[in-house]
């Protein structure tokens, strides 16, 4: 007797982005179109050996309009459908995909199924589109299992030929099909004729506990990028925003900042007012090493938290997440100092 195994079923969550966009006939600008548009352009999808369902967000968005409310909605859709599907694919604009992937990695705890974000640089109906390959490979990855277990059990971005950990990714190219990079963490998989998985770096924060979706993010955060000559009134204005609870401070090199007294006083006053400040490097690659230079020792002494080798996208969404979860400064800083979903290497 042969036992028929259940076909793999995947949910494609369509949020918008170039992948499904069509040109406005009046001015040539691109706007999101329906999911049917995508299906019509890839008839192969209908022949896929997997059971594919879709969920379309309304309205469809250019991802420049994405916000924490949408991230929570996406997390809810995944939570509601978690036991019905083997994996999830999120079609998303590339502009803010790294922010969304980072936010979702924090909202979705103890995933045992893949959540793969993808999109494209050219719309699916354009001749040279990168959408088909991106979507078809994302589907293959989301469906890939060893025995009954999904190989990828985390939030990831698949683009062009690489699968990256979502919260390690940055959009670094607005022109090439290779739009994303993960500067501080190796690719989880590479696709060529075969899809080669880098097993030693996938799911390395896996806990074995039950899946849980969180529904709170605190938007009272800001990014303060320092630059030579930054004026006191800029720093003062940002750090005194009413209700502000957290700041990602984009520092130079290994976490350095001016050690002029006015600057340190603004930082000190903000921390004493209860604002949590996390330092990340402005460099694409490398990490904050507080105390390596005199210009970072001062920040460390004042209580600035090291973002280690975090991307700005991951640091910002992690702040939103931990500020949404806790009120106690001790708990907030405790979580910032550890890796929650593989977003930093300590
Ligand atoms: N503006 C588009 C978006 O992020 C760009 C893209 O999808 O590539 O929605």
CA of 98 to the centre of ligand 1 (A): 12
Within the chain, which residue ranges are assigned CATH 3.40.50.1170? 9-213
pLDDT at 24: 77
pLDDT recorded at residue 3 = 52
Q: Does 21 or 11 have the greater pLDDT score? A: 11
Q: Provide the pLDDT for residue 47.
A: 75
Does residue 1 register a pLDDT over 60? no
Q: At 5, is the pLDDT very low, low, confident or very high (cuts 50, 70, 90)?
A: low
Report the atom number in ligand 1 closest to the C-alpha of 95: 4
Residue 221 CA to residue 198 CA, distance in Å, equals 35
- Confidence at residue 208, expressed as pLDDT on a 0 to 100 scale: 81
Task: Indicate the range of 11-15, 247-251, 290-294 predicted with least confidence.
Answer: 290-294
Give the residue, 124 or 89, on which the prediction is more confident.
Answer: 89
DSSP tag of 65? G
For ligand 1, whether the C-beta of 95 sits within 6 Å is yes
Query: Does ligand 1 lie within 6 Å of residue 18's CB atom?
Result: yes
CA-179 nearest atom, ligand 1: 8
pTM given for the model:
0.95
Q: Which residue has the higher pLDDT, 69 or 291?
A: 69
Q: Is the CB of 17 under 6 A from ligand 1?
A: yes
Distance from residue 192's CA to the centre of ligand 1 (Å): 25
**What confidence score (pLDDT) does residue 69 get?**
98
Give the model confidence (pLDDT) of 186-236 as tens digits: 999 999 999 999 999 998 887 889 999 999 999 999 999 999 999 999 999
pLDDT at 207: 80
Q: 93 in ligand 1 pocket by Cβ < 6 Å?
A: yes
Instruction: Name the percent of the chain lying above pLDDT 70.
Output: 99
Cβ(155)–Cβ(167) below 8 Å: yes
In this structure, are residues 180 and 169 in contact, taking their beta carbons and an 8 Å threshold? yes
Residues of the chain with CATH 3.40.50.40: 221-336
Q: Is domain 9-213 classified as CATH 3.40.50.1170?
A: yes
| Rg, Å, the chain Cα set | 21
Asked if residue 180 has pLDDT above 70, the reply is yes
Ligand 1 atom 8 nearest Cα:
94
Q: Binning pLDDT at 50, 70 and 90, where does residue 90 land?
A: very high
Q: Confidence class of residue 161 from pLDDT cuts 50, 70 and 90?
A: very high
94 pocket-lining for ligand 1 (C-beta < 6 Å): yes
Ligand 1 centre distance from Cα of residue 237 (Å)? 31
Tell me the backbone φ, ψ of residue 79, rounded to 5 degrees. Answer: -60, -45
Give me ligand 1 centre to Cα 136, in Å. Answer: 19
Reading the block at residue 36, the tokens are 């049917």
Residue range 221-336 in CATH 3.40.50.40: yes
Question: Which residue out of 93, 98, 101, 175 has the highest number of ligand 1 atoms within 8 Å of its CB and is therefore the one to mutate?
Answer: 93
Residue of the CA atom closest to atom 3 of ligand 1: 93
23 pLDDT higher than 80: no
Q: What is the pLDDT of residue 258?
A: 93
Lowest mean pLDDT among 3-7, 159-163, 260-264, 307-311: 3-7
Q: Is 121 in the pocket of ligand 1 (CB under 6 A)?
A: yes
How far does the centroid of ligand 1 lie from the alpha carbon of residue 96, in Å? 8
Six token digits for residue 189: 């998989």
CB 15 within 8 Å of CB 66: yes
Mean pLDDT, all residues of the chain: 93
pLDDT grade for 20, boundaries at 50, 70 and 90: confident
Phi then psi for 106, rounded to 5 degrees? -80, -40
The span from the CA of 231 to the CA of 237, in Å, is 10
Beta strand residue intervals within 29-68, DSSP E: 30-32, 51-61
Q: Which residues are catalytic?
A: 18
pLDDT at 112 (0 to 100) = 96
What span, in angstroms and rounded, lies between the C-alpha atoms of 94 and 125?
A: 17
Residue 177 near ligand 1, beta carbon < 6 Å: no
Confidence (pLDDT) at 31: 76
| Bigger pLDDT: 35 vs 227 | 227
**CA contacts within 13 A on the Cβ side of 251:** 37
Which pLDDT belongs to residue 34? 76
> Beta strand pairing status for 180-181 and 170-171?
antiparallel
Give the CA angle between residues 255, 261, 262 to the nearest 5°: 95
Compute the Cα dihedral for 131, 13, 138, 94 and give only its sign.
Answer: positive
Q: Decide whether any atom of ligand 1 lies within 6 Å of the 153 Cβ.
A: no
pLDDT over 60 (residue 345): yes
Report CA(64)–ligand 1 centroid distance (Å). Answer: 7
Q: Counting atoms of ligand 1 from 1, which one is nearest the CA of 16?
A: 9
pLDDT at 149 over 90: yes
Residue 19 burial (CB < 10 Å; 0-12/13-18/19+)?
Answer: buried
Q: What confidence score (pLDDT) does residue 152 get? A: 97
**Residue written as token pair 């008839």:** 43
Helices 329-336 & 312-325 angle (0-180, nearest 10): 150
């Amino acid at each position: 007797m042969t036992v028929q195994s259940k076909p793999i079923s995947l949910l494609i969550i369509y949020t918008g982005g170039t992948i499904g966009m069509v040109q406005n006939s009046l001015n040539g600008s691109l706007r999101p179109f329906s999911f049917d548009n995508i299906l019509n352009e890839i008839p192969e999808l209908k022949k896929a050996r997997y059971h594919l369902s879709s969920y379309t967000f309304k309205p469809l968005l250019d991802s420049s309009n994405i916000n924490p409310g949408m991230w929570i909605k996406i997390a809810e859709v995944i939570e509601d459908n978690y036991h019905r599907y083997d994996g999830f694919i999120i079609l998303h604009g590339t502009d803010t995909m790294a922010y969304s992937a980072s936010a979702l990695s924090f909202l979705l705890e103890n995933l045992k199924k893949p959540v793969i974000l993808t999109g494209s640089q050219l719309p699916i109906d354009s001749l040279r589109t990168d959408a088909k390959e991106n979507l078809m490979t994302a589907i293959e990855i989301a469906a890939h299992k060893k025995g009954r277990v999904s190989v990828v059990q985390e939030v990831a971005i698949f683009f062009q030929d690489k699968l990256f950990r979502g919260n390690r990714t940055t959009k670094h190219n607005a022109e090439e099909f290779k739009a994303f990079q993960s500067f501080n963490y190796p690719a989880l998989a590479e696709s060529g004729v075969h899809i080669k998985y880098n097993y030693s770096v996938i799911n390395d924060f896996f806990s074995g506990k039950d899946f849980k979706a969180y529904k709170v993010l605190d938007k009272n955060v800001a990014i303060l990028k320092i630059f030579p000559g930054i004026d006191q009134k800029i720093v003062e204005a940002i750090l005194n925003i009413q209700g502000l609870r957290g700041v990602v401070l984009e520092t130079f090199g290994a976490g350095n900042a001016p050690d002029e007294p006015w600057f340190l006083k603004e930082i000190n006053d903000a921390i004493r007012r209860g604002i949590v400040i996390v330092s990340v490097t402005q460099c694409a690659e490398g990490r904050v090493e507080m105390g390596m230079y005199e210009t970072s020792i001062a920040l460390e002494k004042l209580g600035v938290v090291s973002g280690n080798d975090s991307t700005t996208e991951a640091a910002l969404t992690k702040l939103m997440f931990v500020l949404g979860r806790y009120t106690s400064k001790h708990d907030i800083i405790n979580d910032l100092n550890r890796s929650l979903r593989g977003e930093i290497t300590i």
